[in-house]
Amino acid sequence: MSHKLTTQDVHVWYGSFHALKGVTLSVKPNTVTAFIGPSGCGKSTFLRLFNRMNDYIEGFHMGGEIIIDGRNIYGKRILVEELRKEVGMVFQKPNPFPKSIYDNVVYGLQIQGINDKHVLEEACETSLKQAALWNEVKDNLKKSALALSGGQQQRLCIARTLAVKPTMILMDEPASALDPISTAKIEELILELKSQYTIVIVTHNMQQAARISDRTAFFYLGELIEYDKTVNIFTNPKEEKTQSYITGRFG
Amino acid sequence: MSQIDNPVHNIKSALDQMFDLVTMQLTKSKDALAGFDKDLAREVIQIEKRVNGQELQIDRVAENFIALYSPVAIDLRFVLAALKINNNLERIGDIAEGISKYINETNSPLDATLMEESNVMPMYEAALRMLKEVHEAYEKEDTSIARKIFKSDDYLDHINAEAITNLTHAANGDASKLSDALYIISIIRKLERIGDQLKNIAEEIIFYIEAKVLKHVKPK
């Protein structure tokens, strides 16, 4: 199986701070990959490289290559807006727009110039169903998104991401602000979405990484310490640092 | 010391006490057999209650540890191994108790010639030595000591395999010795099972420390 994502000797600097030090890994399509590590280890920086979210940070510069679907996404001919349609992102804190549920979901399509009501309605329904939110909001699509619970808002943000039909979804601690029931729903959703999307998730929740991911990457001080099948990482990690971190002995 | 080290330490020391209790039981049951000492045999039967209580205590602490700490990697392997070692030790205790019950039920010491020819006492010594070695392997987290157990178990298996031939020869057609011979064979069978339990414990120690599964792997 060819890889959806490959990174080759990736370095990142913020000014003189060397945030990522030569990270090389590959991600297969239709898998969930978890990035774990203590705060400041570079896992979110690494995740945000995949849809060029770091480009706006002052002093950011990088080295190495990131290949998604065979294209170097930092190549000269890459249109960042096009890339972000392919690679969607869900953030730690639900961030719906102060608009209706419907408007939130179709927002990405509308700014692409799609205004056909039938197309938008269909996309709204499909995305909300995929995000396991349809049954809870189908009778209130005009209601403000801000009136939804935190867990519903996060699923709405996932629906908004899905509406533009990405092939890859990046999630930066998507359940860390949610209660256990909402977290369980997000995790179930991630497992369902895996059949259609490639998902990369940053999480501080070890059990979450263990439950939902196929492979886990452990980062420490900007280095990729270990990358392996999740079951191996959590039963018999090869590196002492990984073992110390996942067993709660440092970090 | 991190938060997770405390419950790990508690389980380790509780299992250590379990090793001590079972070692005491096995030692006393051996001495009871050697000296036909019914008082000592009754003491072994009494210790069994403490062993059972300790087994339940370790089960409970291990269950709490899993529920509250969600252990992974070496901590997970440790607690899984600890539960199995605990169970194996309790069974060794049961066996020591079973042998002591024989001593209590028998009216006179077992026939000295049969005891001698059957090699039951050297077998008992070997089982006790193996128990001490496996305890040391656990305490020192030393898999090289644990691996020695497999060889020692072969010795117990050998005595067990020869038992019927040796006892038939020693009884020399004397029907009055039949009852004692049966008792001795039964003790030998029990000691052979102790060897199996100790081998299981050695496998668990290796699993815990090296993450290698040796169960059901035939030696090359």
pLDDT tens string A223-241: 999 999 999 999 999 999 9
B172 shares contact with chain A (CB less than 8 Å): no
Count of CB atoms situated within 10 Å of the CB of B2: 11
On the 0-12 / 13-18 / 19+ scale of CB atoms within 10 A, A9 is exposed
Handedness of CA A205, A206, A207, A209 (dihedral sign): positive
CB within 8 Å of chain B, chain A residues 8-67: none
B101 shares contact with chain A (CB less than 8 Å): no
Residue A247: its chain B contacts at CB < 8 A? 2, 4, 71-75
Assign A98 a pLDDT band (cuts: 50, 70, 90): very high
Phi, psi of A12 (to 5 degrees): -135, 140
Count of CB atoms situated within 10 Å of the CB of A240: 11
Residue B49, pLDDT above cutoff 90: yes
CB within 8 Å of chain A, chain B residues 4-63: 4-5
Q: Are A230 and A216 in contact (CB under 8 A)?
A: yes
Category of B141 on φ-ψ map: left (φ > 0), alpha (ψ -120 to 50) or beta: left
**pLDDT tens readout for residues B77-106:** 999 999 999 999 999 999 999 999 999 988
Phi, psi of A58 (to 5 degrees): -65, 135
Nearest CA in chain B to A210: B72
Residue A128, pLDDT above cutoff 90: yes
CB within 8 Å of chain B, chain A residues 202-231: 206-207, 210
Helix, strand or coil for residue A203?
coil
What is the CATH topology of the domain spanning B5-210?
Answer: Methane Monooxygenase Hydroxylase; Chain G, domain 1 (1.20.58)
Spatial neighbors of B38 by CB under 8 A, at least 6 apart, are: B32, B103, B104
Residue B213's pLDDT is 87
Choose among A23, A34, A35, A25: nearest CA to A4.
A25
Name which of B3, B6, B74 to mutate to probe chain A: the one with the most chain A Cβ atoms within 10 A of its Cβ.
B74
Residue B219's pLDDT is 60
**Residue contact B73–A235, C-beta within 8 A:** yes
B105: number of CA atoms within 13 Å, CB side? 9
Helix, strand or coil for residue A21?
strand
Residue B173, pLDDT above cutoff 90: no
Residue A141 identity: L
Q: How many CB pairs under 8 A join A and B?
A: 35
Q: Please name every residue paired with A34 in a beta bridge, in sequence order, or none if there are none.
A: A201, A216
**Residue contact B73–A247, C-beta within 8 A:** yes
The C-alpha of B88 sits at a distance from chain A's nearest C-alpha, in angstroms, of 23
Residue B171, pLDDT above cutoff 80: no
Nearest CA in chain A to B2: A249
Name which of B6, B72, B78 to mutate to probe chain A: the one with the most chain A Cβ atoms within 10 A of its Cβ.
B72
